[in-house]
Structure formats: C-alpha cells, structure tokens
A and B are shown apart, each in its own frame.
Chain A
Amino acid sequence: MKALRASRMERCIGCHSCSLACARLVHKVLSWNKAGIRIASAGGLSTGFEARVCLACSPAPCAQACPTGAMAPRRDGGVMHKENLCIRCGKCAEACPVEAIFLDHEVNPYVCIHCGRCVAFCPHDCLELVDLPAKGGEAADD
C-alpha cells in the first residue's frame, strides 16, 4: 500500500501546483485548500515552506475520533473518507496531530488518499509515493 510523502520540502518553491493538482484531479474543484496537500510558508516566504499532508498513521487518530466510521482506516496506514457516512462534525480534523485534514466552511473534510496524482506536478521533485510496510490485521476493506 502506497503513501504520499513530502520528503524534500526544503526544495519547495511555494508554487501550490501540488494542491491545485489534487483539488483539480481528485476533488474536481479549483482550490488551494480543498486538497489533500496544502502549502504554508513557515513564517513568511523568507523561511521556506511546509506541507500539510497526511502522515498515513497507523493506528489513525482521525479514524479513532470519527464517531460514524466515515474516516475509515486503510490497511497499512492513513484513511479513506466515506462521504455518505460523514456527519460533518469535524472531530477528525481536531484529532489529526499535523493539521492534515482541511475543513471547508460546511465542515467537509479533505484529506490525502495517497493516490500520487500530485507528484508529477511538483517541479522540484519534493513529493514521492512510497510503499508502506504491510500491517495486515483488522482493518478496512479497500
């Protein structure tokens, strides 16, 4: 099972191409927020950039916090968001230790599904798709 890693953020130029690609290709919107990865300057442009992106935790605190099972853990780490189960309580975003879940003003959560579609749009090769060590065990269905 794959996971997106922002492994080389010290190379980031802050172009937002990754966020725009995720929003466009995964969520079908024009946005730099409604995306699995979001770029913030670490205190003004002069100190570089950081990526807000899912770490693919296992166990996943966001899934544990979700009261309805809408944030469902993936087998080897990270989550799938099942829109039809989501009651928009925002608990997942609160639970995430790295602010990887974006809530829009209607409290819809946006989180990385580790598909890797943003990777090709990064001009500085900051992002990569890696293999997660297989966990096996109890979790989900995909």
Chain B
Amino acid sequence: MIREFFRVMVVNLTTGKTNIVEIGGRSEFLGGCGLAALLFRKYGRVDADWDHPDQPLILTIGPLTGYYPLMSKTCCAFRSPYHNQYAESYAGGKSALSLRFADLDGLVVVGRAERLTALCVGSRRVETRDVEYMRGFDALQTGRVLRKIFPGSGRRSILRIGPAGENRSAFACINVDTYRHFGRLGGGTVMGAKNLKGICILGDRGFPLPEGKAYPKLYQHIFEQLTTTEMMAKYHGVGTAVNISPLNKLKSLPWKNLQQTSSPEADKISGETFADDTLLRNAACAGCPVGCIHVGFVREQFQANNQYLYRQVGYDYEPIFSCGGMLEVTDPGQVLRILDVIEKVGLDNMSAGVALAWCTEALDKGVITEAETLVRFNWGDADTYMKGVEFLGTPPNDFYRLLAQGTMKCARQYGGEDFACVLGQEMAGYATGEVFFVSEALGFRHAHLDAGGYSWDQKHEEREVEPALDFLVNDGRDRIVLNSMVGCLFSRGVYKDEELAAALDALGYGELNGKLQDIGQRIQCARWRLRLDMGYDPDKVKIPKRYTEITTWKGPLDVDYLDALRRGYAARIKAMGTDPRGEIDPAQYERKGK
C-alpha cells in the first residue's frame, strides 16, 4: 500500500553503481511532479548546464499509480536542453505501471555512459548493456531490438530515443512503448547526452491490497464514472482529434504558420475524417479503460504491379494541428506519413511541425533561402516536410543545427522572429486568444496542459485580468495535484480533491484529507523556484508579433489585454517562485539510520 517514504533507484552511468534510496516527504510532496521537484533538489545542479553529466533524468510515479483507473502516467523531469532550465513532461504507455510493479516510486539516472548504453531495471534487477551498435537506429527499430534483449512482453515498458536524441536536437522526445512520448522540451536529448539509448522497466512484482470491501468498491465506482458514455465518446470515440472542427469554427485553429485561424480545408483533416478514412484501432495505456490512443493506417505503393506496404501511426489532435494544419497538409494519409518519420527520428511532433511551418513562411518571404533549407518547402508538400524532419533529427548543416535548438533561436539569427510561432517553445494547437497565449508563453511547461487557458478563452468574452490569472494559477494547482498522483489529465473531471482524498484513504493513507490544496501550493511554489533559480525571468518573455495579428471568433486580438495578462502573470509567477513554501531542503527528508 502507500508508503510514507519514497523508494527511489539511483543509477549512475559514469560509475556503473546503483543505489536504492529511501526518502521521506510523502505528505509534503505526494509523488509525481512533487517528488520530481524534491529529487531534482537532491540530485540536480542549479549551477551546471543541462548536459553536465551530474544532471539527473528523473522518472516518478505517484501514490495512486496502478491502484485506480487512469492513474497511468509517469512524470519525467530534467534540466531541459531547450531553455537550460528545469522541465517536466508526462507519458503513459506501460511506464507508470511498470515502475509501480518494479516497486520504484522514482528512477533517477545520473552520470554519462562512455558508450551507447541500454538500462534495464526491475524489482530484482538492474543491468546495463553496451548497445553502441544501435547508434543511429530509429526509435521503432530500437524498440524492436530492446524488446528482444529484455524479454517480458506485457509487463515491461520500453523507453528509447531515435537519432534526434543522439544528435542533441533540443526537442528530441523519449518514445514510450508504442505511440506514447515524453514529448516536449527535450527529454530525449537528455538521454542522448547521457549516451543512454533505452530504458527497460520490468514490472515484475505484486502487492497486497487492503482487506475489506471499501477499496474494490471505490475502484468500481471510479471505473464506472470514467467509462460513462460522455468520457468514452470524447476521448475513446473520435479521440482528441475531435477538436479540429470546433476550433476551426471558433477561428482558433492555427493554420499555415498561424497566418490563418481557420480554413475551409480543415474538414479534410478533422477527427471525423481521420476516423472514417484511416482509423485502424484504439489502444490504451496500461490501467486505463478509456483508451484514447488512436492508431491510423496508411497504405503506400512502393513498386509498380500492386506492391504495397502499410504503416500504422498514432495520431491525436496535436500532431494533426502541427503536421496537418500548420503545414497545410490536408490529406490524412500524408499527415500520417510525416508523423511516421517524426516517430522514427524521435522528435516532439509539435515542435517539429511548427519549426517547419516557420521555415516555409521564411522561405516564402525570402528571409532564408534554399541554400539553408536544402529543399524547397511548399505548403501541403508532405514529401519535402518528411525530408525536413530528417534534417531536424540529423542536421546536415548549421541552419538545421540551430533550428533543431528551437525555432526562435534560429529566427534570432536568420530573421523572421515576428512569425515564429513560439510561446516558450513551439506552440500547441490553440489560437484561442489572449489567455492561452500568455498561459503557454509564460507557463511552467510551456504546454497547453499547464492550465486550461484555451478553455477560459472559449468561455469568456469579457477581458478581465485578475479573474483570468486566478484561474490560471488555481487550475494549474489542481493539475499539479493530479500530476502528483500521477493521473491522466483526461480524468480531471472525476478526480477532484475529495475523490483523490477518498482514494488515498481507501489505501490506508487518510491523513492527507483536506490538505491537498496546501500540498499543491507547496509543489507549485517549489517548481517555480527551481525555474527562477535556473535563470527564468518571466518579465522578459516576449509574445511574437504574429499572435497580435490574428482574429478569433471574438474579433482581432486585444494587444492591451494580452500585455496586461502577460505582466500580471509574470508577477504572479515571481511571487510563487519566491514564496518560502517552495523552499526545499532535501536533507530534511533523508531517512536517518536507514
């Protein structure tokens, strides 16, 4: 059941040594993103860059992982190559349950291996293998080989990187099992810098459950709520891709590098069209009956005389926005082909698509030329974009090397900053308005998942600053609590504070009842403090001109409102980041005499 301490495995790739460490602080940090912040304070370095061998790659789960449905995510934390500050990313697949059944609340990898290495951990196992021969292997091939090296089908998780991570593209992802990713801010790059090609987590243990009926009864109750028709219709049915059409209608769908916020062509790549034309089947993260993963299918003729091959490619709203709408690729099959290359190369799909959208506009405007891009990108031309993805993963020249460090970094050198769709990192797919833009540009993860700014924009026409900022901070904190458990954010309608407290209680951990908001606040301050300590200055964040040129359903963007929000949110972030509640002294959580 729930321990009052965290059991963490620390693997040092430089020395080859592994330790199991017990760390206190369950009632202060819960797990997930709270535990990650604590672990970074303990193992990470504020005074060294992201690629210093000492810097940790941290994976954490939470107290409820595996015990309830949709408690199926892992938090991955690291100092990001993208902005050289603390960052988090989340993924599911089988990673969370594998960590649970490996009996690890956290896995920390420090050091740097001399040669390319694969790591395997389990409840009774830790092992590294020299996999230098896998250098340059794409992420799918790497997964196949790792599955052979570390057997255990159905009860293990395989994390690995493609060439982009090895080559230190700053937005390389970590591919998790199949079709899941620690996508954003360069977790894959951190693995690459450690010479770590893959991690296999074997979930080979089981644990006693509480006696009595309370726990299975609560499980059943939550299970039923999460599998109601509404939830299933939204995430299981058409899936997140269902958002394309409504956002297009609201003039909030970034299109053609955000030159437009809607397009008559959007229906061609709507969730419904993807489902009708390409959907092969659904899949799920382990422990999730909702099953939001949508696997599309594309058939390609590779020779005359009816010779076909087929590809299976996962899709969601975000990759359709970034590699469909943003590039004006309006054929679902072509979108899937681009995504397939991204999957193999091992890049974050949002950053890759948005970077190539900027390239296309920069070429059109003559800001850069084919001398830099090597190929001529044209809106809608999937084949060239597929080439571009490969260049981002394995840069053939200085231009791509810089672009793979981030679109804005490249634009700063070559020009075209005004139309680089960057909000802290390449944007997520919501041109909903001022609140979302500020939320993503300044937000902790620079992700649409930090807080529901996109939804605030859609529901509020009034332009009030303080209520919007209250919402960003409070909604952000609720998400932090869920991210400490670690639950899928799709379940946030069901897992409110009371349900979470009841869920903990049924596992014999009742003392957190009524304290979750305080804990959320502590973690929120602790995370901001980490970022501020690493040089983040929210006052300096600029929102590119392109965002001020758009029109949504509310009309033209209100620049004054945007600016007021930006200044107000920056002030709130600084207040949270200097709040003494966010101070962590890791020594305080050492378990004496253990």
Chain A interfacial positions (CB closer than 8 Å to B): 13-17, 20, 23-25, 28-34, 38-41, 43-46, 48, 52, 104-105, 121, 123-124
Contacts and interface: CB of A to CB of B under 8 A. Distances in A.
B31 interface: no
Interface of B: 66-67, 69, 97, 100-101, 124, 143-144, 147, 153-155, 177-179, 203-209, 211, 216, 219, 223, 227, 232, 236, 281-291, 293, 295, 312
Top 9 closest pairs, chain A to chain B, by CB: A31-B206, A45-B178, A40-B154, A15-B284, A13-B291, A40-B153, A123-B289, A13-B284, A34-B206
B203 A32 contact: yes
Given A44-B147, A44-B178, A121-B223, 18 more contacts: A13-B293, A14-B283, A15-B284, A16-B287, A17-B289, A24-B216, A25-B216, A28-B209, A29-B206, A31-B101, A33-B155, A41-B154, A45-B177, A45-B283, A48-B281, A105-B124, A123-B289, A123-B290
A15 B291 contact: yes
A17 B69 contact: yes
A42 to B, nearest CB: 8
A104 to B, nearest CB: 7
A17 to B, nearest CB: 5
Nearest to B312: A46
Contacts of A121: 223, 289
A16 B92 CA distance: 13
Given A30-B206, A31-B205, A41 B287 contact: no
A12 to B, nearest CB: 9
Contacts of B143: 44
A49 to B, nearest CB: 8
Contacts of A17: 69, 223, 287, 289
B178 A46 contact: yes
Given A13-B282, A46-B178, A30 B287 contact: no
A45 B179 contact: yes
A38 B66 CA distance: 15
Given A13-B291, A32-B203, A123-B289, A38 B154 contact: yes
A18 B588 CA distance: 42
A32 B281 CA distance: 23
Nearest to B203: A32
Contacts of A44: 143-144, 147, 178
Contacts of A16: 97, 286-287
Contact of B155 (A13, A23, A32, A48): A32
Contacts of A28: 208-209, 211
Given A13-B283, A14-B284, A15-B285, A29 B209 contact: yes
Contact of A33 (B206, B216, B286): B206
B346 to A, nearest CB: 16
Nearest to A25: B216
B69 A29 contact: no
Contacts of B205: 31
Contacts of A39: 154
Contact of B206 (A14, A43, A46, A104): A104
